[in-house]
Structure 1
Amino acid sequence: MDTIASMTTHDARDAFGALLQRHSGIVFKIAGSYARGSEDRADLAQEIAAQLWHAWPKYDPARSFSTWMYRIALNVAIGHLRSQDLRRRHDAVPLDESLHDVADGNAADPESEQRLRLLQGFIARQPPLDRALLLLYLEDRPQREIAEILGITESNVSTKIGRLKQRIRDAF
């Protein structure tokens, strides 16, 4: 595919749908991290998908789709969180076990499950940028990609990760 703009509407919709389906875990993970309750998560996931579709004509196929998707999804989620914070004045959005990839039976024993819950709670208490940084880091995304998604420098990513690791060690 040369450019999205040169595709027919039907072809563009099909290409977008296929990529969105393949990378749907990103949407679910972010929605689960930035929204409360199943209805809020569903609404946020729908808003992310709508914003991705809206931005789709500007997507450059020469670049990583997942990086582009993360950037838009995190911006939508952070905007959602800010609007929720203004209405509710809550500092933390709790993570729960309904996250798409985190709690699908990956915890081998009760001790691991407890550590996972503690980590999820720690992540939920972080400011939106740090929360996004942790999610991307825990997915083993390269620092260059994290920097691109979050719009910060690689050295800033490295510094923030180091500080977050220390806060995790201090917390546990």
Structure 2
Amino acid sequence: MKKEEEQRFVALLEEHQNIVHKVCRLYTNNYEAHNDLFQEITIQLWKAYPKFRGDSKFSTWMYRVGLNTSITLYRKSKRRISTQDFDNVAFKIKTETYDDTEEQQLKALYAAVRNNLNDIEKALVFLYLEDKDYKEISDTLGISEVNARVKMNRIKTKLRTLLNP
């Protein structure tokens, strides 16, 4: 990959890294697992970047890679994910310390989502909470818009029941 493409990738990743942090928070329970998953998603984004054609927004593509990586890793092993050595990657990005104080009011919702929904439902809720429209959700998850709407309505009902017994 050319140096300018590498610099463009690093700049885009730094600009949108909160997307990856949010995906990590949805699929992990502790700091170490969060960091491991962040590292693995970053590596997968780096590997896939040369194939990014720009047909969608970078952030949409980033969501898709992040969610697919998370789902794949956690389907293989619910307890521990295997990661690649980050030091072998040619670039270094400046990472922010993830501050979740603004999201404390969502703690119960995240717990309900993490503990009671399957992987696809988690991804759907995540994208919905990120204010993605159903077109972008359907593109990211590879399902129809109608299917995304129906699934989301069922998930809302399920979460209401879980959070307000």
**For residues 15-62 of structure 1, what are the alpha-carbon distances to aligned partners after superposition, in whole Å with 9 as ceiling and x for unaligned?**
000110111011111111112321111111011001001000110124
Q: 1:134 is matched with which residue?
A: 125
- Aligned partner of 2:109 in structure 1 is 119
Distance 1:27 1:106, change over 3 A: closer
Identity %: 37
Partner of 1:164: 155
Structure 1: distance between partners of 2:160 and 2:33? 31
Q: Normalising by structure 2, what TM-score?
A: 0.81
Is 1:104–2:101 an aligned residue pair? Answer: yes
RMSD between aligned residues:
2.1
Cα distance in 2 between the residues matched to 1:75 and 1:120: 19
Match of residue 12 from structure 2: 19
- Provide the C-alpha distance between the structure 1 equivalents of 2:102 and 2:127, rounded to a whole number of angstroms: 21
Aligned counterpart, 2:49: 56
Secondary structure of 2:101's match?
A: coil
Which residues of structure 1 form unaligned runs of 5+?
1-7, 89-98, 108-112
Find 1:76's aligned residue among 41, 52, 69.
69
Q: Evaluate the alpha carbon distance shift between residue 100 and residue 149 of structure 1 in structure 2; reply closer, same or farther with a 3 A threshold.
A: farther
Q: Distance in 2 between matches of 1:60 and 1:11?
A: 16
Q: Which moved more, 1:59-68 or 1:73-82?
A: 59-68
Q: Deviations over 1:102-137 (max 9, x none)?
A: x33355xxxxx3xx3221111112111100110110
Partners of 1:29 and 1:100 within 8 A in 2: no
The structure with the larger Rg is 1
Aligned length: 147
